[in-house]
Amino acid sequence: MLIGIDASRAAIQKRTGTEAYAYHLIQHLIPLAADKNHTLRLYFNQPPADNLFQPASHVEHRIIPFNRLWTHLRLGAELFRRPPDLFFTPAHVIPYSWFGPAMATVHDLGYEHFPEAHTAEQVRYLRWSTQHNAKRSRVVLADSKATKQDLIRFYGTAADKIQVIYPGIDLQFLDEAQTAEPLERDRPYLLFLSTIQPRKNVGRIIDAFVTVADQIPHDLILAGQTGWQADRILAQIEELPEPIKSRVIRPGFVADSEKANLIKGAAAFIYPSLNEGFGFPLLEANACGTPVITANSSSLAELAQTGGALVVDPQNTAGLAQAILQVINDEGLRDQLIAAGRQNLERFSWQTAAEQVLSLIEDNL
């Protein structure tokens, strides 16, 4: 079988959630395809790094650069001229002109819950692309039960057309989490690590920190690149009084090589995002043995259902502040969260995810 895969998102160097999903899933599909005598044709909109998905007898690279509308024009034309048996997009959209067998992963519908966190143009495109993927896919992959329920609720997608396949956690990161030394600083710290934007609830994290700052010696590190409407958050930090303002640290984007040290050194990992299709940062904190505070909604409650995190109402600042004090001051609770977090990781494997995806591809030709 010839399986075409949009690998353009996997080639991005500074990968966030969906790009990491595409990268790790393709990485694990490659050896499975060899075992099953399948060929993978990977499509790129720019030349990939030399060490990314090395071409082999069963792995083809199609590098088809194009300035605008790459997916619908350039990739669509390539699929028409040289059609695969099935086209799969793990982190983007099925080309409008492709009517052959297809599968797509839908990661989240956060824009339906919080449309104000996006531009009007982004919301229109996200609605169209998600509906388009759900309609054109023979099977729709969802990262979580929460995303599946959103597809049913907002777009009326048939429940039996949606398959929930949990992503995994990077094995290299697991190794680094075992061997990394905690980051040493003059002061202990609480950590948020993701995109700095309102949808991630960063504003309430800051408010909760201000509430408890005079009761703890910790700094608050807000790590990650800035996203849409980050200006509001940056202004909020600038308006903080001293000395609290100097205790809110923004290191920017964190390289993969530095991530485990940073997470491992934190007294608590705070991730009460307003909506997530899946929460990789939560699992990374579990792997590092760092207690997690997260939201009791969307996929985050699902990921923490085995006790791998302390869950709070993400819109209750007082509750979030109280959770911070609990995790810092209650050693028994910390030990419980750390142990449950490590056990929680057993539910998430890229190998298992890739096996399930390939099985669906084989079943849906």
Q: How many CB atoms lie within 10 A of CB 37?
A: 8
- 339 φ/ψ angles, rounded to the nearest 5 degrees: -65, -45
Three-state DSSP state, 8 = coil
Q: Give the model's pLDDT for residue 142.
A: 97
Q: Give the dihedral sign, CA 313/319/325/331.
A: negative
Q: How far is CA 6 from CA 34, 61, 78, 86, 132, in A?
A: 19, 10, 12, 11, 16
265 Cβ contact partners less than 8 Å away, ≥ 6 residues apart: 182, 183, 184, 185, 189
**Can you name the residues that pair with 44 across neighbouring β-strands?**
63
Strand order from edge to edge, sheet including 310-312: 248-252, 219-223, 189-193, 268-271, 292-295, 310-312
Q: Give the model's pLDDT for residue 335.
A: 96
Q: Give the model's pLDDT for residue 116.
A: 82
Q: Give the model's pLDDT for residue 285.
A: 96
**E strand or H helix that includes residue 334:** helix 331-344
Q: Which two tokens stand for residue 265?
A: 């050194």
Amino acid (one-letter) located at 298: S
112 Cβ contact partners less than 8 Å away, ≥ 6 residues apart: 127, 150, 154
Query: For residue 49, what is the DSSP state?
Result: P
Q: Give the model's pLDDT for residue 149.
A: 96
Amino acid (one-letter) located at 225: Q
**E strand or H helix that includes residue 77:** helix 76-81
Cα–Cα distance measured from residue 257 to residue 253, given in angstroms and rounded to the nearest whole number? 12
Q: Which two tokens stand for residue 22?
A: 């595409």
Q: Give the model's pLDDT for residue 119.
A: 83
DSSP string, 18-34: HHHHHHHHHHHHHHHHH
Averaged pLDDT in 10-residue chunks for the chain of 365 residues = 96 83 96 96 92 91 89 95 97 95 95 86 94 96 96 96 95 90 94 93 97 97 91 95 96 91 97 92 96 95 92 97 97 96 94 97 89
Q: How far is CA 361 from CA 28, 135, 160, 271, in A?
A: 14, 16, 16, 34
Q: Give the model's pLDDT for residue 147.
A: 96
Cα–Cα distance measured from residue 120 to residue 35, given in angstroms and rounded to the nearest whole number? 45
**E strand or H helix that includes residue 252:** strand 248-252
Q: Give the model's pLDDT for residue 33.
A: 96
pTM of the model: 0.90
Cα–Cα distance measured from residue 207 to residue 321, given in angstroms and rounded to the nearest whole number? 8
β-pairing, 86-89 vs 102-106, is parallel
Q: Give the model's pLDDT for residue 288.
A: 96
Q: Give the model's pLDDT for residue 355.
A: 98
Q: Give the model's pLDDT for residue 66.
A: 84
Task: Name all domains of the chain by residue range, CATH numbers in brackets.
Answer: 2-168+349-363 (3.40.50.2000), 171-347 (3.40.50.2000)
Amino acid (one-letter) located at 316: N
Size of the chain, expressed as the number of residues it contains: 365
Q: Give the model's pLDDT for residue 118.
A: 79
Q: Which two tokens stand for residue 309?
A: 């995190």
Q: Give the dihedral sign, CA 310/311/314/319.
A: negative
187, with CB counted inside 10 A (0-12, 13-18, 19+), is: exposed
